[in-house]
Structure 1
Amino acid sequence: MHECMAPFGGFDHNAQSLRVVTHLEQRYAEFDGLNLSWETLEGLVKHNGPLLGPDGAPLGKFAGASLPFAIRHYAERQDLRLDTWPSAEAQAAAIADDIAYDAHDLDDGMRAGLIDIDDLREVPFLAGILGEVEQRYPGLEKSRKIHEIVRRSITRMVEDVIAEALRRLGEVEPASVEDIRLAGRCMVGFSDPMAAAEKDVKRFLFARVYRHEDVLAVRRLVADVVRNLFARFMSDPELMPRPWSLGLGGLDDQQLARRVCDYIAGMTDRYAIDEHRRLFDAAPELG
């Protein structure tokens, strides 16, 4: 989607979440969006940390560029203080998301046969857990062994985050959420040893799961679906169903591209494939 939108301001999935809950959802008579609290929107946008430095320049993956369209657009309506850290709750949600992704992808990778249990010995953190499981439960059947490995990985990471968060909070001794926002660093995260271990897990998953040829083959098919849908709707936007096809006459290319992007970004996998089949009489078989 970002490739298709490159000439029109780009696309960022996290920023699109903000656009969904503040603009695209239309449930109330007097305004668009879901009427979420400022704290919820703040956490949604910057749960991984500040997006702007003290000088107002974008940070992290946006450094040297500009913030995504959806964030810039919403910033005209409300200040989410993009140069500060979010609340502790948002930070906790962010690290929980990382832990869940690691565990889920590890579980999926083993159950799908993309990685073997013995492959985990390549990663010290996972090798240690595997050794514990094998020592305590010799001869354990594969499905139960996978579950034990995954749940112990989650437990280790969660316990580490709790201990490290308590340590950091003890150093700062915040008296309010404002103290958390202005602490200058994350309050809820991994200890240095666990952060290194988690990076090892991510590197392993990237090489053995995310870049597995079977996974890449599906990604290529899905990318073609998105490209084809975007090109077709840009050339003939009337093909979009209502309400997406309403009021097209007053849109310039930039606005039309954003309308098409919003429509495609909101599709489920199955709906996107069905739309591709409707428009091209063909759809990929994703297994």
Structure 2
Amino acid sequence: MNDRRVMETAPTFVRDDAVAPWGSRAAESKGRRWHEPSAPTRTDFQRDRDRIVHCSAFRRLVYKTQVFLNHEGDLFRTRLTHSLEVAQLGRSMAHSLGLNEDLVEAIALAHDLGHTPFGHAGQDALDGCMKPYGGFEHNLQSLRVVDKLEQRYPEWDGLNLCFETREGILKRCPLSLAQEWERDEPNGVGRRFVAGEQPSLEAQLTNLADEIAYNAHDIDDGVRSGLLTLDMLREVPLFERFREQTLADHPAVANHPRRLLAEIIRRMLSEQVYDVIRATRQQLATHAPDSADMARRMPPLVCFSEDMKRESATLKRFLFRALYRHPQVMATTDTAKTVIVELFDFYSRNPNELPGDPAQKANPMRALADYIAGMTDRYALREHHRLTGRRVFLD
């Protein structure tokens, strides 16, 4: 049987039957910016996920920093592994809440596509460079990647993703920019910021999955790096509670710090996931949305309980003070910022060094920011060395 015959006779696999009334159904999507016929064997949200996985920006995430720079070790999280963890947590919770797992996965895999090299340090540096030209924010850049910068199709720029996926990627947006987008794309991704509405429940869930994932893996990476210790973490109530439980259930694991830490983190993750499911179910029962659009017009419904929200905030404050602001991390990120600033300065003075001709583009400074934001850690370091002759990190 030839390929054409297979496509003509293949059944359509529609997973919307498992989605609750308040969830987003692929068959009811608000569509793509450019019309395409639906695929015979995938829903539109599954198709979005597949397009994201195959795009070049997704592949580059493997060499983009989370907290520890790429050259600092092979076992630390990267933007790619973080995105996979967010997708796993998100799908687990979505299944229990009657939400669309495929949409959650697509948003999770795309949410960091716009991140610069060197994590938040790189974003801060590039934002500073771009202040006279509109600034830089990785969340807006992620949408720009899937809307404009990926060039894989003959008739349009970007990946032509569904409205619901694009809406979920756009976590925040200045009102002035949202109003501008609403004029260009009425009832598009900028509308909810203008109307004061919420994103889909799938987008809300992915945001929480992101928070749960990075809190847990930053503990793991922080201990692996030696900057955090199990004793230091005992001041965090969420951590200490599960440390005591683990030792009570498995006393011998006290002699195996890696096993102990892994079990504590596993229990922390599980409890936070179950807490979101319980708290969100309560919100759904209270507000009773009967459609995805009705849920958008309500307060945020996907949430932690108040107790877990406080514990999560305490954990984040600890990580900020003990890890993100650790002198060793700060020294590294300060150097990384210098790399970004010097790259920006060089390219802005020597645009001929950029691929193509940015001077011919409508906004050459934005094109410059696109180029730097798309770099991986190691490519940025190689380019910096090539252009300045200096090696800022030892290989």
TM-score tier after normalising by the smaller chain length: 0.7 to 0.9
RMSD value over aligned CA atoms?
1.9
Match of 1:157 among 262, 266, 272: 272
2:243 maps to which residue?
A: 130
1:3 aligns with 2:128: yes
Amino acid at match of 1:180: A
How do 1:135-146 and structure 2 match up within 5 A? 135-140=248-253, 141-146=256-261
The equivalent residue for 1:174 is 289
Match of 1:118, as an amino acid? D
How far apart are 1:139 and its partner, in Å? Answer: 3.5
**Contact 2:130 / 2:136 at 8 angstroms: preserved in 1?**
yes
Distance (Å, rounded) in 1 between the aligned partners of 2:284 and 2:394: 47
1:272 aligns with 2:380: yes
Counterpart-to-counterpart distance in 1, 2:370 and 2:183: 19
Aligned to 1:108: 221
1:67 CA drift (Å): 4.2
Counterpart residue number, 2:344: 230
How far did 1:213 drift? 0.8
In structure 1, the partner of 2:38 is none
Deviation at 1:284, TM superposition (A): 1.4
1:1-287 pair list within 5 angstroms: 1-46=126-171, 51=173, 58=175, 66-67=176-177, 72=180, 76-77=184-185, 79-80=188-189, 81-83=191-193, 84-140=197-253, 141-183=256-298, 185-241=299-355, 245-246=356-357, 248-249=359-360, 255-285=363-393
Question: Normalized against structure 2, the TM-score is what?
Answer: 0.64
Q: Deviations over 1:115-152 (max 9, x none)?
A: 11011221112111111112222241011011011111
Distance 1:142 1:75 in 2: 56
Q: Counterpart of 2:274 in structure 1: which amino acid? A: E
Q: 1:277 to 1:213 in 2, by over 3 A?
A: same
Change (3 A) 1:202 1:75: farther
Relative to structure 1, is the Cα distance of residues 202 and 39 closer, same or farther in structure 2, using a 3 angstrom cutoff?
Answer: same
Q: Note the C-alpha offset of 1:27.
A: 1.1
Gaps (5+ residues) in structure 1?
Answer: 53-57, 59-65
Amino acid at match of 1:104: H
Q: Quick check: 1:24–1:33 contact (8 Å CA) kept in 2? A: yes
Number of positions where the alignment pairs a residue of Structure 1 with one of Structure 2: 263
Q: What is the distance in 1 between the residues matched to 2:180 and 2:235?
A: 43
Question: CA 1:88–1:119 in 2, change beyond 3 Å: closer, same or farther?
Answer: same
**Structure with larger RCO (C-alpha < 8 A, sep 6+):** 2
Matched residues in 2 for 1:119 and 1:221: separation?
Answer: 27
Q: Which runs of 5 or more residues in structure 2 are unaligned?
A: 1-125
Cα deviation code 1:48-96 (max 9, x no counterpart): 6xx57xxxxx3xxxxxxx548xx95586235222232111111111110
**Which stretch of the first structure deviates more once superposed, 83-92 or 220-229?**
83-92
| Identical-pair percentage | 41
